[in-house]
Chains A and B, each alone.
Chain A
Amino acid sequence: MTETTFTSWGNVIRTPHESAPLLSRHADFPAAPAQSSLLPYGNGRSYGDSCLNVGAALIPTRGLDRFISLDTASGILTCEAGILLDEMFRVIMPNGWFVPVTPGTRFVTLGGAIANDVHGKNHHAVGTIGRHLVRFELLRSDGQRLICSPTENPQMFSATIGGLGLTGIITWAQLQLRPISGPLMCVERVRFANLDEFLQLQAESDTDFEYTVAWVDCLGTGNQLGRGWFERANHSPTRATLPRAPARGLNIPFAPPFSLVNSASLRIFNTLYYHRPRTRRGERWFESYFYPLDSVSNWNRLYGPRGLYQYQCVIPESAGRDGTAALLNAIARTGQGSFLAVLKAFGALESPGMLSFPRPGLTLALDFPNRGRSLERLFAELDAIVRDTGGRLYPAKDGRMPPELFREGFPRWREFAQYIDPRCSSSFWRRVMDGA
C-alpha cells in the first residue's frame, strides 16, 4: 500500500492517505487496506473535508475514465464515473449536447457531481444533476453491484445522490443531456444597487432565462448593502463549432507565502468591479461564461499556504431577503471575505437526493482566506443567522460547520445513515456525526 498526499480544493488539509485506486469499472471493491475505512476520491474539487478520509484510505476513481455509449439522437450518455465534465464536453458538444447541470468548474468527475448533487446557475429552471440521472451502478464493499434509478433500488438511488461517496463507489452513470446549437451563450448583465433590486431582477428573469446568478460586493454596507451585478443567460441559437484545442490560461505554480486576497486588495477590486462600464448583452464562449475561474489553473493557491474556506449556505425563501442582508452585514463589518461572492436564487424543483443541499430560497457563497480564529468568529456569527432562518450549509464546500448545524439542516441524515456502506467513511462524516 502506498501513501500519497491528498488535498481538497481549500488546501487547508494536506495529508498523506493510503490509497487503492480503482482502474476499471469491472474491478472489485478494494480489499486493502483491511483495517481502515475507505472513501472514493474523484478530482478533489470539494473545498473542505468531505472528499478526504484522514487517518484512513481513499479510492481514487479518475482511472474510471471510459465512455460506454452516447445515443446522439436522444442525448443519453453512459460513461464511467471518473470522467471529468471537461472530457465529456469534447465528446458531447460536437454532437450538439451539453450537460443538464454544471457546477462552477468543469474539472469535477461525474461521480463527484452525483455524490454532491451539484447545482448550477440554472437551478431555478432544471434543479440539481440528480434529477437528470437515468441510472447508475453502485459497487458496494460486499461485492454487490446495484443498478440504481428512480425505479430500481430507489432508496439507494436517493441516498447516493448527494451521498458524499459514503454509500459505495459509483462506477458508471447514465445521464440525460440537454440539446444545444453550439458552444455560445447569450449573456446579459445588469447592475443592481441593493438586495431588493436583485430580487426584482430575479423575479423578472426567472422564466425567460435558463441561467441566472449574481455577483455581490461583500464589502457594501448601508445603502450599498447587497449591490452587485446580475447576470442572466441562455444558450445561443448560433451554430458554431468548438475549437479543437482550447487556449491554455494562466497557472499559479505555487502558493505565495501569504494570501494575496486581503481586505486592501479586496476593497480596490470590488469597487472597480462594481463601477466597471455597463456591457449590456453579448455572446460568450461557454467556457468563459460557466467557468471563468478555470482559466486560472490552481487559483486556490492565491490564498496562500493556509488555504481558504468557502461558506455556502441557503436561506429558505421566507427569510431570504432579511437573512441574506444579515449575512452580508456581518461579513462587511469584518472586512473579510473575497472577491468571489455569489448570490443565486434556488428554484422549487426537488431533488431525489436525501442529503441534497439546494432548497427554495437564496444561496450565498463566499471564499475566505484562512485566518484562523478571527474567521471562526465570523463563521459562528453567520452560522447563527443561517440556523435562525432554518437554512443549511453545503457539505461540498464545508470544512468546519458544527455537527448540530449539519444535523438540523439535513434532518434526513438518520435515514441516510442506514445506506452508508459499512466500509466507507470520511473526515466530514466523522466530524458531523460527533456527539450524535
Chain B
Amino acid sequence: MKKILVMGAGSAIAEATARVFAERGDALFLVGRKADVLESMCADLRVRGAKGVGMHVMDANQFEDHEAMLNMAESALGGLDVVLVAHGTLGDQKACEASAALTLQELSTNGVSVVMLLTRIAARFEQRRAGTIVVISSVAGDRGRQSNYVYGSAKALVTAFTSGLRQRLYPLGVPVITIKPGFVDTPMTAAFPKGPLWAKPQQIAAGIVGAVDRGSASVLYLPSFWRLIMLMIRCIPESVFRRLKL
C-alpha cells in the first residue's frame, strides 16, 4: 500500500490517477479548492477500494499554509510515499495580456506555488532518502506560443525546476517525474473543438501510474507522440517561428 498526496485533486488527470491508485488499495490524501468536490471524491475513492482517504481544502497560492498541509497529510496517511502535484488553471491568455495582476496570479498558481511546494517536499524526501515526486507540467512549457504563453512560461518554470530537482534527488533514490501531457479532454478544455491529438484523462493516468511503479526519474510526454511533435516545434528557427500563428 502506497501513501499518496494529491495536490489539485479535483483536476481530471489527478482524479483519474487517484482512481487507479484507489483500485489498487492505496491510501490517498486529497488537497484542492472545492470542499464539495473533495468530499464526493473521498467517498468515490473509498468505494473503489482506497485503504484510507483524507482531504484538506486549500488554495495552492496560500504558501504560508503549505507546511501545515504537508504535516496534516503525513499524519493522516501515517507517512508519505508519493506526491502528485497536479493543480493548475488554464487562464485566459487575452485577459492576462490586459492585466499584469492576472498574469502574476496565473504565474503564481501554475508555476511559483509548485516551486514552493516542491521545495518543502524535496527537503522531506531528501532527508529520508525515500519518496516519489510526480509533477504535471505541460507541452506548453516547451516553447512559448502567443496563444498561451503565460500558462506556458509558468509550466516552463516547472519543467526547468523539476529538471534540476531530479538531478539533485536522483542519487538519493528519490525519483522526480515530470509529466508533459498534450491535449487532454477535461473540463478545463471543454470549450475547444477536439481532434485526433486529444487524449482521455484515463490514458494520462495510466502513464503516470506506470512511471511511479517504474520509479523512472525522467520526463514523460503523454501520449508519447508529443515528444516528437514538441521536438519539431522546438527546432523551428525563431525567424520562422515569430511569424507563425500558433
Q: Do A and B come from one complex?
A: yes
**Contact, CB under 8 Å: B48 / A91:** yes
Q: Are A70 and B187 in contact (CB under 8 A)?
A: no
Q: Encode B5-41 as 1/0 by CB contact (under 8 A) with A.
A: 0000000000000000001000000000000110011
The 8 Å CB contact of A21, one of B40, B190, B194, is B190
Say whether B228 faces chain A, with CB atoms less than 8 Å apart: no
- The answer to whether B43 touches A69, judged by C-beta atoms less than 8 angstroms apart, is yes
Q: Which residues of B contact A2 (CB under 8 A)?
A: 190-191, 193
Q: Considering the chains assembled together, what is the distance between the CA atoms of A400 and B139 in angstroms?
A: 48
Q: Are A67 and B47 in contact (CB under 8 A)?
A: yes
B49 touches A91 (CB 8 A): yes
Residues 65-86 (chain A) with a chain B CB within 8 angstroms: 66-70, 79
Chain A 77-107: CB-based contact to B (< 8 A → 1; otherwise 0): 0010000000000110010000000000000
B47 partner residues in chain A, CB cutoff 8 A: 67-70, 79, 91
Any A CB within 8 A of the CB of B65 = no
> How far does the alpha carbon of A25 sit from the alpha carbon of B41 in the complex, in Å?
12
In whole angstroms, what is the CA distance A47 to B141 when docked? 44
Q: Which of chain A's residues have a CB closer than 8 A to the CB of B44?
A: 66-68
What mask results when residues 26 to 44 of chain A are scored 1 for a CB within 8 Å of chain B, else 0?
1000000000000000000
A24 near B191 with CB under 8 A, answer no
Q: Indicate if A335 sits at the interface (CB-CB under 8 A).
A: no
Tell me whether A385 is interfacial, beta carbon within 8 Å: no
A43 to B209, CA, bound (A): 27
> For chain B residues 30-89, which have a beta carbon within 8 Å of chain A?
36-37, 40-41, 43-44, 47-49
Instruction: Specify the main secondary structure of chain B where it touches its partner.
Output: helix
Chain A minimum-CB-distance residue to B43: A68
> Is A390 located at the chain interface by the 8 A CB criterion?
no
Inter-subunit contact A24/B23 (CB<8 Å): no
- B193 near A67 with CB under 8 A, answer no
Contact A90 B187 (CB under 8 A): no
Query: Which one of A25, A66, A68, A90 contacts B23 once the chains associate, using CB atoms below 8 Å?
Result: A90
Contact A23 B187 (CB under 8 A): yes
Residues of chain A with a CB closer than 8 A to B190's CB: 2, 21
Q: How far is the CA of A90 from the CA of B43 in the complex (A)?
A: 16
Q: Does A63 contact B (CB under 8 A)?
A: yes
Instruction: Please report the C-alpha to C-alpha distance between residue A94 and residue B48 in the assembled complex, in whole angstroms.
Output: 10
Question: Which of the residues A26, A79, A94 comes within 8 Å of B36, measured between beta carbons?
Answer: A26
Q: Which residue of A lies closest to B39 (CB)?
A: A26
Q: Please tell me if the beta carbons of B43 and A63 are within 8 angstroms of each other in the complex.
A: no
A66 contacts B187, C-beta separation under 8 Å: no
Q: Complex: how many Å from CA A90 to CA B47?
A: 11
Chain B hits for A67, CB < 8 A: 43-44, 47-48
Take A91-B47, A91-B48, A91-B49 as given contacts and tell me if A66 and B40 are in contact as well, using a CB distance cutoff of 8 Å: yes
| Interfacial residues of chain B within 180-221, with CB under 8 A of chain A in the complex | 187, 190-191, 193-194
* Closest residue on chain A to residue B192 by CB atoms: A2
Distance in Å: Cβ of A317 to nearest Cβ of chain B = 41
Interface size band for A: 10 to 19
Among B36, B43, B49, B194, the most chain A Cβ lie within 10 Å of the Cβ of: B43
Q: Which has the most chain A C-beta neighbours within 10 Å: B44, B48, B190?
A: B44
Considering the chains assembled together, what is the distance between the CA atoms of A23 and B47 in angstroms? 19
Q: A94 — which chain B residues lie within 8 A by C-beta?
A: 49
- Which of chain A's residues has its CB closest to B191's CB? A2
Q: Are B40 and A26 in contact (CB under 8 A)?
A: yes
Q: Which of B23, B40, B41, B194 has the most CB of A within 10 A?
A: B40
Query: In the complex, what's the smallest C-beta–C-beta distance from B39 to chain A, in angstroms?
Result: 9
- Name A24's contact: one of B40, B43, B49 (CB within 8 Å): B40
- Cα separation A24 to B23 with both chains bound (whole Å): 21
- Which residues of A are found within 8 Å of B41, using beta-carbon distances? 66
Residues of A within 8 A of B49 (CB): 91, 94
Give every chain A residue within 8 A of B193 (Cβ-Cβ).
Answer: 2
Residues in A349-387 with C-beta less than 8 Å from chain B: none
Closest to A20 in B: B190
B43 proximity list for chain A (CB < 8 A): 66-69
Which residues on B sit within 8 Å (CB–CB) of A63? 187
Closest chain B CB from A1 CB (angstroms) = 9
Find the B residue at minimum CB distance from A92. Answer: B47
**Interface core residue of A2, A4, A67 (most chain B CB under 10 Å):** A67
How distant is A17 from chain B, measured CB to nearest CB, in Å? 14
What's the least CB distance linking A43 to chain B, in Å? Answer: 14
Closest to A26 in B: B36
- For the complex, what is the distance from the CA of A26 to the CA of B190, rounded to whole Å? 19
A23: chain B residues at CB < 8 Å are 187
Chain B residues with Cβ below 8 Å from A21 are 187, 190
Q: What's the Cα separation between A25 and B23 when bound, in Å?
A: 22
**Chain A residues in 8 Å Cβ range of B194:** 4
Contacts of A91 in B (CB 8 A): 47-49
CA distance A69 to B49 in the complex (A): 11
Q: Which residue of B lies closest to A65 (CB)?
A: B44
Contact between chains at B48 and A24 (CB < 8 Å): no
Distance in Å from the Cβ of B16 to the closest Cβ of chain A? 10
Which residues on the B side are within 8 Å of A25 (C-beta)?
40
In the complex, A338→B106 CA distance in Å? 57
Bound complex: CA A4 to CA B191 (Å): 11
Bound state CA distance, A25 and B49, in angstroms?
21
CA distance A408 to B40 in the complex (A): 44
**Mind listing 27 A-B residue pairs with CB under 8 Å?**
A2-B190, A4-B194, A21-B187, A21-B190, A23-B187, A24-B36, A24-B37, A24-B40, A25-B40, A66-B40, A66-B41, A66-B43, A66-B44, A67-B43, A67-B44, A67-B47, A67-B48, A68-B40, A68-B47, A69-B43, A69-B47, A70-B47, A79-B47, A90-B23, A90-B48, A91-B47, A91-B48
B contact set with A: CB distance below 8 Å = 23, 36-37, 40-41, 43-44, 47-49, 187, 190-191, 193-194
Closest 10 CB pairs of A and B: A67-B47, A66-B44, A67-B44, A70-B47, A26-B36, A66-B40, A68-B43, A23-B187, A91-B48, A91-B47
Beyond A26-B36, A68-B47, list 19 extra A-B contacts (CB 8 Å).
Answer: A2-B190, A21-B187, A21-B190, A24-B36, A24-B40, A25-B40, A26-B40, A66-B40, A66-B41, A67-B44, A67-B48, A68-B40, A68-B43, A68-B44, A69-B47, A70-B47, A79-B47, A91-B49, A94-B49
